[in-house]
Structure 1
Amino acid sequence: MPSNPEAVPDDSNSLIQQARYPRTTARRRLRAAPFLAGGLCAALVMTLSGCGGDTASDDKSASGQAKIKVMVGGLDKVIYLPAMLTQQLGHFKAEGLNVELLTEPAGVQAETALISGDVQGAVGFYDHTLDLQAKGKKIESVVQFSHAPGEVEVVSNQAAASIGSPKDFKGKKLGVTGLGSSTDFLTKYLAVRDGVKTSEFTPVAVGAGQTFVAALKQGSIQGGMTTDPTVATLLDQKLGKVLVDMRTPEGSQQALGGPYPSSSLYMSTEWVNGHRQTVQKLVNALVKTLRWMSTHSAEEIAAKMPADYAKGGKDLYAQSIKSTLPMFTKDGVMPKDGPETVEKVLKAFNPNLKSTKVDLSQTYTTEFVKKAPQG
């Protein structure tokens, strides 16, 4: 089967169709900030009140203060939980920041919003910084949320007998959040690692949440890569099985050969250099949240999150957080050898990187996390 990226059939949720074209729709959907919830498109613009540091945006809040806009590749995904939790705990406000959180269903769309200048920061996978450097863009991670992908490759019950490992991806349709997303990257790596060419299977952009569940249930895909709480929902409804689990450092080591720094706050290097005080405050707030997470239970964390995130019920949501907690760092520091693992994974299939010398030191900085308060 050719590797022509597909969208699911016309009777599926229209958001799946949108996920296929992230770069042409990002600006239009940025204004509404839609996200996947119960198969419906909802708007989410969460503003944190406070006072500004150095100016971050031409847009002003009602108080006349400058806003910092941050796009998240799915605010309700557990892998990006620190962003919303920081708001819920009041840590942005405590730093005197006015931050506006926006959401897109896939990390590649958050990347697009950052590159286009619509936002000052993006919460997404660190691997985008390497991919963008190969395209001549200088982007860097300023705080690293995790040292494992937090991703899970699942297969439907119907396909479980024919897919026992990534070597069986040949001829299959596999769901990813968006084409060019980190789920797309990791799926391709798992295939290539096990001897399957990227041209021998078909990635299908299905988003996450209910659109992913619907695609698997309808048979539009035989498997796919997703995160909690989608994984917890699939298992609870007995719709599929786990094939590859990368929610822990051990799972990352087994699947990818080392730590894989994933969710992070990344920004334009030029913007960081021009707004160091603001960046330090952002990092202070996020590191404080990571430390808080390391000393609280999944149930305590779930209780702090917006109630509508627990679509499958409080217990299931808490379980999804518990399953994903091992991926998070406690201090926001880039894990040792993490960038090298990411480079190895991307170069295995990415033509932009195969022939490019990547300067890993330019893809992240630990300057701000090292200055963050330790208490």
Structure 2
Amino acid sequence: MIKVKKSACMLLSVVLLTLAAGCGSAPAVETKPSAPAPEVKKEQPLKTVKFSEVIRSIFYAPHYVAMQKGFFKEEGLVIDMNTAQGSDKGAAALIAGVADISLVGPETAIYIYNQKGDKTLKIFHQLTMKDGSFLLSRNKADAFKWSDLEGKSVIGWRPGSAPQMVLNNKLLLEKVNKVDVVTNIASPAMAGAFTSGKGDYIQVFEPIASSLEKEGKAFFVASVGQAFGAFPETSYVATSDYIKSNPEIVQKFVNAVAKGAKWLNTASQDEIAEALMPFFEGTPKDVVIQSIERYKKQDTWPAVPELTSEQFETLQKVLIDNGVLKLEQKVTDMGAIVDMSFVKNIGKVAK
């Protein structure tokens, strides 16, 4: 009897222990509150800029580099680009509102200002500081003198355009007369007209100049930009209203182009060619490289892309000398059509 009671007590003890374990009698584990999940920043959507370039030329290499190397994207912009085929058309696109920013001759801002219309244009970045055209001849010459153009014909640019006025000024300075400068051929048709037999000389930009040379259809005689000297030929321009409403976009745009220009100064020839060739389909690599070297040699792209008062004065003198601007139309208040504040803030974060 005693043995049975002992066994029953042992069995009861086992059951109680099992129940105690099942009821969670084990000591509670202290837990620390979980840290809040890191905030995930939403990627801001890219803002589209409707952009119009005057022509397609390696003269504007910093812009294409900024597109191809992703510098515009780094600034939060995407560029919707078209080619106007003329500064007058690029300016008209701004006035009509079909372009936000145009790359044109700065003289267009002066023309629009003097029209006293509802809209004015403002220059906010000076991309090039030399004329970008080169003079080529049909026949090879051992040495070239500007007087060689007397009695000859030159396929040139439309009246009132920067390359046409720079060439005309150079002829005036050299006192070269009786030169037939053909100005009624559209820029895309100029090379074709020359190769078909029209003109003794042709004034073209790169890479067309180097392409004509490589094909044996023309011979290099002079860099118009190098011969003429400093001249603010091509600028980024927008309406005053657009700049006032979108200062952060304009600053980002300027920052991106500045990155492109800086990259051009450090990259190898091969790297530069690879970045530019998508914009010049069918153009051989060696032609692209030669084009870049020619523009670098003449200091085309200024270290500081600023249109100064001295350069603005040079621009207006050329316009007056060419008869497209009357003396009384000269813009005395540069600030009315020039805003270099964005250039002075290059590298700063646009807000």
Superposition map of 1:104-183 within 5 A: 104-136=84-116, 138-157=120-139, 165-167=145-147, 169=149, 172-183=152-163
Counterpart of 2:255 in structure 1 is 284
Alpha-carbon offset, residue 157 of structure 1 = 1.6
Residues 296 and 168 from structure 1, CA distance in 2 versus in 1: closer, same or farther, beyond 3 angstroms?
same
**Quick one: distance in 2 between partners of 1:197 and 1:116?**
40
Q: Per the alignment, in what secondary structure is the counterpart of residue 184 of structure 2?
A: strand
Alpha-carbon RMSD across the aligned residues, in angstroms, is: 3.0
Larger relative helix fraction:
2
Q: CA deviation digits over 1:71-106, x for unaligned, max 9?
A: 01123x011222222111111111112321111333
Map 1:28-67 → 2, pairs under 5 A: 51-52=45-46, 67=48
Give the superposition deviation at 1:200. Answer: 6.2
Residue 277 (structure 1) shift = 1.4
Distance 2:313 2:292 in 1: 28
Q: 1:93 aligns with which of 73, 77, 80?
A: 73
Judge conservation of contact 1:261–1:342 (CA < 8 Å) in 2. Answer: yes
Q: Distance in 2 between matches of 1:119 and 1:345?
A: 27
Alignment-derived partner of residue 233 in structure 1: 211
Q: Which amino acid aligns with 1:187?
A: L
Kept in 1, the 8 Å contact 2:58–2:292? The answer is yes
Point out the more displaced range, 172-181 or 81-90.
172-181
- Once the two structures are superposed, the pairs formed by residues 1-375 of structure 1 within 5 Å of their partners are 51-52=45-46, 67-75=48-56, 77-136=57-116, 138-157=120-139, 165-167=145-147, 169=149, 172-195=152-175, 201-208=181-188, 211-247=189-225, 251=226, 254-256=227-229, 259-307=230-278, 309=280, 311-325=282-296, 326-334=299-307, 337-359=310-332, 360-373=334-347
CA distance in 2, matches of 1:96, 1:81: 21
Q: Which amino acid aligns with 1:234?
A: L
Amino acid at match of 2:219: K
Q: Deviations over 1:225-248 (max 9, x none)?
A: 21110111122223233343145x
- Aligned to 2:187, the other structure's residue is in SS state coil
Contact 2:134/2:209 (CA < 8 Å) preserved in 1?
yes
The equivalent of 1:19 in structure 2 is none
Equivalent position amino acid for 2:164 in 1: D
Q: Output the amino acid matched with 1:205.
A: I
Is the 8 Å Cα contact of residues 151 and 178 (structure 2) preserved in structure 1? no
Which SS does the other structure have where 1:143 is aligned?
strand
TM-score between both structures, scaled by the size of structure 1: 0.71
CA distance 1:224–1:111, change in 2 (3 Å): farther
Report the more deviating stretch, 275-284 or 191-200. Answer: 191-200
Q: Distance in 2 between matches of 1:186 and 1:356?
A: 20
3-state SS, counterpart of residue 183 of structure 2? strand
Matches of 2:279 and 2:255, distance apart in 1:
27
Code of the aligned partner of 2:345: K
2:50 corresponds to which letter in structure 1?
K
Q: Secondary structure in 1 aligned to 2:166?
A: helix
**Structure 1: 5+ residue stretches without partners:** 1-48, 53-65
Q: 1:146 touches 1:328 (CA, 8 Å); kept in 2?
A: yes
C-alpha distance in 2 between matches for 1:136 and 1:92: 34
TM-aligned CA distance change 1:207 to 1:200, over 3 Å = closer
Output the CA distance in 2 between the equivalents of 1:130 and 1:224: 28
Segments of 5+ residues of structure 2 without an aligned counterpart are 1-42
Matched-pair contact (CA < 8 Å) for 2:153–2:182: yes
Deviations 1:321-348 (CA, angstroms, capped at 9, x unpaired): 1111231123322357222222221211
Q: Distance in 2 between matches of 1:315 and 1:371?
A: 36
Matched residue type, 2:135: E
Rg comparison, structure with higher value: 2
Q: How many angstroms apart in 1 are the aligned matches of 2:158 and 2:300?
A: 22
Q: Return the TM-score normalized by structure 2.
A: 0.75
Describe the SS at the equivalent of 2:51: strand
Partner residue, 2:23:
none
Maintained 8 Å contact 1:141/1:363: yes
Contact 1:189-1:346 within 8 A present in 2 as well: no
Counterpart contact for 1:172–1:222, Cα < 8 Å:
yes
Deviates more, 1:84-93 or 1:126-135: 126-135
Specify the code of the residue in structure 2 equivalent to 1:227: F
Matched residue pairs, number?
A: 302
Q: Which amino acid aligns with 1:80?
A: Y
Aligned AA for 1:244?
A
**Shift of the alpha carbon at 1:128?**
2.7
CA positional deviation for 1:120: 1.1
